[in-house]
Amino acid sequence: MRVHPIDDLRAAVEAAAGDLRDGDPAPKGRLSLERPKKAGFGDYSTNAAMLLAPSLGAPPREVAERLGAKLSERLGASVDRVEVAGPGFLNVFLADAWYVDATHGVLQAGDAWGHGEPEVAQRVNVEYVSANPTGPMTAASARHAAYGDALARMLELSGHEVSREYYFNNAGGQIDRLGASVRALARGEDVPEDGYKGDYVAELAKQIPNAADRTASELGAEASSLIMEGIRETLHAYRVDFDTYFLEGSLHEAHPPDPSPIALAFDRLREQGHLYESDGALWLRTTEFGDDKDRVLQRSTGAPTYFAADVAYQEDKFRRGFDKAIYVLGADHHGYIARLKAIASSLGEDPERVEVPILQFVHIVEGGDRAKMSKRAGDFVTLSELIERIGVDATRWFMLSRSHDSTIDLDIELASKQDPENPVYYVQYAHARLSSIMRNLEPGEAEAALASPAAASGLNDADRELVRRVLAYPGEVREATDRRAPHRIATYALELSQAFSAFWRDSPVLKEPDADRRAFRIALSVATRRTLASALTLLGVSSPESM
């Protein structure tokens, strides 16, 4: 795409400052160009004069006056006026011509609008959900699925290559306990105290042939396989699909002459010199890298620990060539941050290549009460049930509308409402209204409006604010991606919809008598619709044409 209008404006400010310096070095400090927090202080404000004042030996306000004159020369018809404010801020009031040109800049970008170009594009592995295959997907896992998927979408839009991965923990004691639970119900017995309860276990007991006569290990493997199949189907319905389903069991498998991935990881750790033996067990000295204690890799019996699988799994990611490994984990895994980074350091890798966003809990609220959420007790809300109650769009929106480090109380009654009080309905309705504008235009009118900028004048506050909100989108995507914060996109989509609502009220497109203003507002409606659809796509929420 061509240069972003705000970048173009920033470049003009920097060039005007260069005119005043007359070849002298640029001053220290970051030149800002920001939206003023208060109305009446211009469209954008800059601190450039205060940065220049010391080197020019003049008061900041005097420098701001001179800078304003230079900037007005450079911007020409694009600027209405400039004003000096406070200790030396320069407030820039842009002309209608700038807003018209900026809107067409968005349209010229086409599908590239919002895309980023990182200094270094990375291959990123995002591992998320990874719930044990011992029960259906729960509402808690729905947050992980929505977050990981949205983060992957944002990284891709920002120019990175992303691989989505689900780690199936299909090995270990929990699988045997699941099998024992299935067998007990098939025999008409009580489930073991440490087993799994719930209707889904009873269904597995009916579904698996000869369940009463088989071993717990066999039943656990078959039951977990059926659960995994159900998890895949549920996630697909939730618009979440993975490039790789990684089985933990594969880490223990050797394929002669090649050793198992766990054995390969042990060899690499030996090369790095971080292994030692104590009490017959094999240990990794992770305390050297910020962990609170050293970790056992192999018990005195010769059996590898869960931690050994964690090491082998991370080593496998690095061997696959990923520059960044992102593990999306729950609030009960906070201790894993230091542990996973210590693994990277032990393997001789930069620990900054490992990121661990920690997601807080989800509470389903109905009638003012929170639902209980225990998979083992068989008392939980499944993702399938949640989708059936409020739909995919509402589920994803509410799972993404708050920062990942905040607890979510998902109010079923609010999420079910078909009125503006429900934020996802409000945003989708804005998109539907934008679509209705396009449907009600005269034949060929949209194409004519988009072909070239109209010489529109007399724009109002609603026109200008909507343009400014649209222009903010690439920066919001960049900020949300850098902070691993999809909730910022939800907030942006809501704010853009609010700006459009004011535009819908104060700037009627179809009833506008002035031909140039009408053409401009058509172009702005198209730019807004594209931007809102792009933001909703990042969230995995649909963009309805009508409601």
* Alpha carbon distance 290, 341 (integer Å): 8
Q: Is the pLDDT of residue 2 over 70?
A: no
Instruction: State the residue for tokens 């005007």.
Output: 16
Q: Is residue 104 a part of any domain in this protein?
A: no
Residues 32 and 153 both lie in one domain: no
* Alpha carbon distance 538, 532 (integer Å): 10
Residues 471 and 532 both lie in one domain: yes
Q: Is residue 110 a part of any domain in this protein?
A: no
pLDDT at 37: 84
Q: Produce one character per residue of 104-130: b if its CB has 16 or more CB atoms within 10 Å, e if not.
A: bbbbebeeebbebeeeeebebbbbbbb
Domain that holds residue 325: 123-359
Element (H, E) at 410: strand 408-411
Distances (CA, A) of 194 to 179, 190, 350, 374: 12, 11, 40, 13
Q: Is the pLDDT of residue 1 over 80?
A: no
Q: In this predicted model, what pLDDT tens digit does every residue of 66-86 receive, in sequence order?
A: 999 999 999 999 999 999 999
pLDDT at 378: 46
Rg, C-alpha atoms of the chain: 29
Q: In this predicted model, what pLDDT tens digit does every residue of 164-192 receive, in sequence order?
A: 999 988 777 889 999 999 999 999 999 99
The pLDDT-based confidence of 371 (bands split at 50, 70, 90) is low
Q: Is residue 30 a part of any domain in this protein?
A: yes
Residues 152 and 70 both lie in one domain: no
Q: Is residue 177 a part of any domain in this protein?
A: yes
Residues 70 and 155 both lie in one domain: no
Q: Is residue 87 a part of any domain in this protein?
A: yes
* Alpha carbon distance 234, 240 (integer Å): 9
Residues 300 and 177 both lie in one domain: yes
> pTM (2 decimals)?
0.92
C-beta of residue 533 within 8 angstroms of C-beta of residue 113: no
Q: Which of 340, 359, 378 is the last residue in one of the domains?
A: 359
Which CATH number goes with the domain that contains 208?
3.40.50.620
- C-alpha angle 299/300/301, rounded to 5°? 85
Q: Is residue 395 a part of any domain in this protein?
A: no
Least confident range of 1-15, 355-369, 381-395, 436-450 = 1-15
Residues 319 and 453 both lie in one domain: no
125: CB partners within 8 A, 6+ apart: 162, 163, 165, 317, 320, 322, 324, 325, 326
Q: Is the pLDDT of residue 423 over 80?
A: yes
486: CB partners within 8 A, 6+ apart: 146, 147, 150, 151, 154, 400, 404, 480, 538, 539
Structural domains counted in the chain: 3
Q: Is residue 374 a part of any domain in this protein?
A: no
Taking the CA of residue 337 as centre, how many other CA atoms within 13 Å lie in the half-sphere pointing to its CB?
A: 10
Which CATH number goes with the domain that contains 437?
1.10.730.10
The pLDDT-based confidence of 379 (bands split at 50, 70, 90) is low
Q: Quick one: 60 exposed, middle or buried, by C-beta within 10 A (0-12, 13-18, 19+)?
A: buried
Q: Is residue 218 a part of any domain in this protein?
A: yes
Which CATH number goes with the domain that contains 44?
3.30.1360.70
User: Closest Cα partner for 475 from 230, 157, 42?
Assistant: 157
Over residues 472-486, mean pLDDT: 96
- C-alpha angle 290/295/299, rounded to 5°? 175
Q: Is the pLDDT of residue 468 over 80?
A: yes
